[in-house]
Amino acid sequence: MEAYLINSLAFLLSIVFGYLLGSIPNGVIIGKLFYKKDPRDYYSHNSGGTNSGRVLGKKIGILVTILDMLKTIASLYIVFAILEFTGIENYFIWQGYDAKPLFYFGSAFFSIIGHCYSIFLKFKGGKGVASTLGLNGSISPILFGCDLMFFLFLKRKKIVSLSSILTSVTLSIATWIIAITCYCLSYSSINLTWSFGFLVFPKIGFEFAIMNTLISLLIIYRHKENINRIKNGTENKVTWIK
């Protein structure tokens, strides 16, 4: 009973921490503080890096994108570090199952939820693309390579929203392939992370694969209006890529 309560409390604290950190609206803060503009008042009315770049300039758009990546990365690695390096990890093993990935990936997932539905913006926000790319790229060079597919899709299709959707699906599929392959071959996924097996690092297991699938579905849902415009042939295309 004590272990159940400890695990339940740890999971709750992890997702609340992730949600609050992810809810920080970097684009809105920078826009209002330095430019007296709110990105939500223009174009797509989102607070993410793409729309912030349209309203506040490309450099600010890049800055907001990086900050949105970092808040999700931080939500993962702060919880991961607490669970792995404070001597409390034994509380989170249930009959041989290591439950820690549920907590740190849960924190990262709710960070992206917070980015999309920020409590500070009346549960509105961005679309979660930058946060997702940053999270995946911070874990594995393989997933970082999948992140770069965004630019390949963008070069071919010239549509940011479609490239975002295709990249999120690619990441989801890649994570499942890694998780299933490592499970079937009894191979440690740690060897496929940036630690290359030499350091304690977040595992690429089924918990992460499920999370990436949910994120992919969320990104598709957040782009539902873009999808309709793509079908109608009215979605904006980037003009600076040849």
Map out the domains of the chain as residue ranges: 2-232
CA angle at residue 212 from 124 to 232, to 5 degrees?
A: 60
Please indicate whether residue 107 or residue 50 has the higher confidence score (pLDDT). Answer: 107
Mean pLDDT, rounded, for 61-86: 95
Calculate mean pLDDT across residues 153-166.
Answer: 95
Residue 45: the pLDDT is: 86
d(CA 119, CA 205) in angstroms, rounded, equals: 30
**Rounded to whole angstroms, what are the CA distances from 71 to 109, 149, 163, 190, 230?**
12, 22, 22, 23, 30
Band (pLDDT 50/70/90 cuts) for residue 240 is low
Q: Is the pLDDT of residue 21 over 60?
A: yes
Mean pLDDT value across residues 146-156: 96
Mean pLDDT for all residues in the chain: 93
Q: Give the model confidence (pLDDT) of 161-212 as tens digits.
A: 999 999 999 999 999 999 999 999 999 999 999 998 888 899 899 999 999 9
Residue 63 clears pLDDT 90, i.e. is over it: yes
Region 20-30: mean pLDDT is 97
Task: Please tell me the predicted confidence (pLDDT) of residue 232.
Answer: 96
